[in-house]
Structure 1
């Protein structure tokens, strides 16, 4: 008999709460349904990022990825500061045998072999010493996004599924959703096997079982996006009767208060009877002192080869989203996403003019702010920003998000691979004056020409990050067809930082004289060796008017680059420039699927050395 409960975590890839226990009539998930009936089901559980690597960073460290420079970007391999903890290391200190089977993809330079007793495809609680409590994690890859790219045998047929109203009803959409349901049924069987093993070993009455997913599903506006379909996850916790003193809820309880996957680390510590360190962002879901959350938070940064910056806060009923780069639509081409027939169908319908207003929103520039009543509008299609009856509620969520971003010192405004993208620099107020930058970026999202002179003045600031966001404020004006203030060209000439020059040149190019500014960005692409500066230049060229005679050769030169995202971005842009692009073209290199975090240890996102 164990003096402290064991912990078993079963983690599925890319799963929204489309499970029988959550009320989904199509799902075939009997083992999960039984687990929920014996445990607690969280109605409003969210991950912190709607893509695996940043989400898994937050689970591992108990801190939002955007609090650690670079960790918020997909496949970025951040340097983990010494002050950051990891839950397996802390649980091992508490005497637990900790195993991981097998996905890591933590988005930082931590060595899995150092923090786990065993991290492999054969890792199991059965390898522990007699009587030793364990924390065992099993990652199920069956439901990963890639399952929608191939046939999945199962009972669910395309005609059985119900598509959300924001997606067009196409064969590819239905096929992909049916495939994902069938993959979830297979995952449910795998979960059942782990639970059977626990029973067979006589450990069920001494083991707290967690089931959750790292983020939401693979369909458009789900994975990678800040809506419930991307951030919402299933979370079920079963506590055996012997340990019911750890919870305030009985079997079959449905908990409406929000919960975050960043809460898992402190919850594990609470189960083990270990004091929760103050630096963790989460709060324990089990233990003697459990407080309900009012809000959970999420972020969207670089997703694959595409840059964006948005933040979200969710309460039990409402979701607020702030888009700091509203001139970039959600529907930016990402080579891995476009392997799915669902994305190919969606873009084909967009180009053919076959979408309704709700479905077109994905392809248009974003609003600066979004606010949704998810009880009345579960698919988040009616933006309530500006609604007089929701002004106070929107303000409350705005304030909660601002406070959260300051409290965790959100580093998402720092350009990737810039000099400020180190832990020390990000904590230096003269290098990274966060609250001032947040204010500039928020004004930029408004796209109000009255702010233009202020952005111009900020281009003289000593902080390159301030100047970058001042330039983005001007870009927002130009992308909205609004005039730029006099003096922007002079500011460009005086600027030496390429990560300020790129958005300035894009702003000037979108405001007129585009050939000159396409040429300027192409020069930066050619002359700069840093792969992320090159990626940012490609991003600007993708949205500037296309001039193949200026940039095609430089773009094609990156076709064989060792950096996955550079190659994908350049191949897409080259096809746009030469006129050969079609939504059904395949650009993703299947030999690099492991780089998307499918198996093993994470690979760096660049073949070149970058700042730690």
Structure 2
């Protein structure tokens, strides 16, 4: 009897699945919409252009993050990665209770799901022992051809030839003429920069060739008319001030969808061959869209909307992007666009855009750009990347596509800025963005549980109060010593942290006004608060005794043998930033453990070592693995 019921269930699932389209995702890495079909005359992309000519091209698609692992995390979860505490490059946090990754939902609906082959998520994959519960197959051999006969498939083929690391691959014979490379105005015009940009476009052409092979394979198998195809890159170009930066230039990707005649009823509204869609779309929407065209209702915990298919929803007024820790360096940026204007809020404006990042400095463009800045040989526009940031930026993509003229202080644009800033704040509250809890603090409290679950209540994470504190800390007209002092007595550690950050951001005069209270914060029960207080006091260095107390507090937090790993990373970042002021303590700093404990996840281990290398050797580059 049970075997009979099982057979009936299998037949029912097969019948439903047979009425569903195949779906093919052809993805690439570290490339924006530098394609012929997007108007780039320097690009050579015949296959992508042909796909766009018979499908639809999305004009305003953002990756939610300007770097791979957080961007891919938004895709696999259908959620804003900071809402799960998974925004940092890289992280390894638990999936929220009751949540599934999208292939699990597709497999439950009868799809065969294959991934060839990049994963690199910041969320731990669900497993049963060693069995992968997410994909039917995820490897370099994964292919839709491996599915059982007649089963519908969802397949991902990810091309890595466009990755940042491939721009610096040598030897390389250029295909594109570097003399004709379209350089952004903020990059210096040097042979190294021109070579890197030409090689970037070469790699896109190679990716385009591979994409054409996948399409030909599908055609040869007789499946082209049964398969919906999507192509997109995972974020903007793998060049400095593009990758890792949540400007439009770092977040915009080309998104092309093709629906064969049989499945056009599932296509976006107004679909026509060669058409252009101007709706706002971001990666949290792509996952809901995938399920919708497969006939699967997106779960309520998804934070995007289906662009098309059975469960399509209207386009939003705004889409959003984020930047958190990039490998070994901390930052916190949120960005929002309405399609024309881009609003960026910096919550650590005291840090330069171009902090030394070992991986980024392996590229010739980064090194020559920084060298020319150090020599004082650059015009003002090209110096900005190496300096500290304003609290707010606003750009008009219509008149300023390279995002170089900051309109945040323009009275003529005040209403526009206010509208985007309010839209951003509403989004951060709605999704309960956990990025405003210091990483060391967040992981220590979560332990091995999902940060989203641990901080799901206002008692655990008073999100409005924390966001108010972070906003106050970065607003010079409001961040008075008196207003910041009130934050230092708050019962929530994250509010206290932003209070201390406010003193640091506002600088010497504000710190000196309340130095005794900041000294008290060196004994706070939160290590992140202690670290921030130590940095603020070191930055003014008024008294040898206070400097010693602050440095000793930092050294204690930087010791991985007694402190959590990411607490140590926070502390060593501060030691590195102020090493010129801390020369008397160099023996103690160099004696700190520099090798991560065995329990630290493999991909994260090199971060502390990179920081210690920089403490010892300055901006000398150490070759590392992919990123």
TM-score, normalised via structure 1 length: 0.92
The range that moved more, 531-540 or 480-489, is 480-489
Residue 296 of structure 1 and its aligned partner are, at CA, apart by: 1.0
What aligned pairs does 1:67-86 form with structure 2 within 5 A after superposition?
A: 67-69=83-85, 71-86=86-101
In the alignment, which residue of structure 2 is the partner of 1:396? 419
Report the alpha carbon displacement of residue 528 of structure 1 after superposing the two structures with TM. 3.9
Aligned-partner Cα distance in 2 for 1:493–1:226: 33
1:568 is the counterpart of 2:619 = no
List gaps (5 residues or longer) in structure 1. Answer: 576-580, 597-612
Q: Is the 8 A contact 1:79 1:109 kept in 2?
A: yes
In the alignment of these two chains, the number of paired residues is 584
Q: Assess if the C-alpha contact under 8 Å between 1:312 and 1:320 holds in 2.
A: yes
Q: Deviations over 1:573-601 (max 9, x none)?
A: 222xxxxx35xx3224x3xx15x3xxxxx
> Match for 1:222 among 239, 242, 264?
242
Where do residues 99-138 of structure 1 align in structure 2 (5 Å cutoff)? 99-111=114-126, 113-138=132-157
State whether structure 2 residue 560 is matched by structure 1 residue 522. no
Judged with a 3 Å threshold, the aligned counterparts in structure 2 of structure 1 residues 446 and 178 are, in CA distance, closer, same or farther, namely same
Distance 2:508 2:399 in 1: 33
Deviations 1:454-486 (A, max 9, x none): 222222222111111111111112268874425
Query: 2:4 aligns to what?
Result: none
Pick from 576, 579, 595: which aligns with 1:542? 576
Distance in 2, Cα, partners of 1:5 & 1:327? 51
Unaligned runs of at least 5 residues, structure 2: 1-16, 598-604
Report the CA distance between 1:376 and its aligned residue: 0.5
Q: Is the 8 A contact 1:50 1:230 kept in 2?
A: yes
> In the alignment, is the contact (CA less than 8 A) between 2:280 and 2:338 conserved in 1?
yes
Please tell me whether the aligned partners of residues 522 and 551 of structure 1 are also in contact (alpha carbons under 8 angstroms).
no
8 Å Cα contact 2:558-2:592 kept in structure 1: no
Partner of 1:98: 113
Task: Report the equivalent of 2:365.
Answer: 342
Whether contact under 8 Å (2:396, 2:403) holds in the other structure is: yes
- Residue of structure 1 aligned with 2:233, choices 171, 188, 213: 213
- What's the offset of the Cα at 1:349? 1.0
1:263 aligned residue (285, 305, 310):
285
The residue that corresponds to 1:492 in the other structure is 521
Q: 2:406 aligns with which of 383, 391, 397?
A: 383
Give the C-alpha shift of residue 127 in structure 1.
Answer: 1.2
1:55 aligns with 2:71: yes
Query: In structure 2, what is the equivalent of residue 244 of structure 1?
Result: 264
Query: Partner residue of 1:359?
Result: 382
Which of 325, 333, 341 is residue 348 of structure 2 equivalent to? 325
Deviation at 1:491, TM superposition (A): 2.4
Whole-angstrom distance in 1 between the partners of 2:231 and 2:590: 45
| Offset at residue 487 of structure 1 (A) | 3.1
Q: Is the 8 A contact 1:449 1:477 kept in 2?
A: no
Shift, 1:507, TM fit: 0.7
Q: Any conservation in 2 of the 1:459–1:491 contact (CA below 8 Å)?
A: no
Structure-1 separation of matches of 2:452 and 2:595: 32
Query: Partner of 1:183 in structure 2?
Result: 203
Give the deviation of 1:255 after TM superposition.
1.3
Compute the displacement of 1:529 (Å). Answer: 2.7
Deviation at 1:43, TM superposition (A): 0.9
Task: Assess if the C-alpha contact under 8 Å between 1:45 and 1:233 holds in 2.
Answer: yes
Equivalent position to 1:142, from 140, 161, 166: 161
Deviations 1:77-136 (A, max 9, x none): 111112322110001111111100001011111148211111111111111122111100
CA deviations on 1:117-163 (whole Å, 9 max, x unpaired) are 11111111111122111100001111111001213444213212121
Residue 273 of structure 1 is matched in structure 2 by 295
> Shift in Å at residue 450 of structure 1?
4.9
Q: Is the 8 A contact 1:125 1:134 kept in 2?
A: yes
After TM superposition, give the deviation of residue 321 of structure 1 in Å: 0.5
Alignment-derived partner of residue 565 in structure 2? 531
Q: Per the alignment, in what secondary structure is the counterpart of residue 137 of structure 1?
A: strand
Checking the alignment, whether the CA contact within 8 Å between 2:554 and 2:575 is kept in structure 1 is yes
2:279 & 2:372 partners in 1: Cα distance?
A: 39
RMSD of the TM alignment (CA)? 1.9
Deviations for 1:246-282, whole angstroms, at most 9, x for unmatched residues? 1221111111222111111111111111222222111
Instruction: Please tell me whether residue 416 in structure 1 is matched to residue 435 in structure 2.
Output: no
8 Å contact 2:519–2:533 — kept in the other structure?
no
Higher alpha-carbon deviation: 372-381 or 487-496:
487-496
Answer yes or no: is the 8 Å Cα contact 1:385–1:391 preserved in 2.
yes
Deviations 1:176-215 (A, max 9, x none): 1111111111111110010000000000111000001111
Matched, 1:551 2:586: yes
Given the alignment, which residue of 243, 248, 253 partners 2:275?
253
TM-score where L is the length of structure 2: 0.90
Find the aligned partners of 1:82 and 1:496 in 2 and give their Cα distance.
29
Aligned equivalent of 2:219: 199
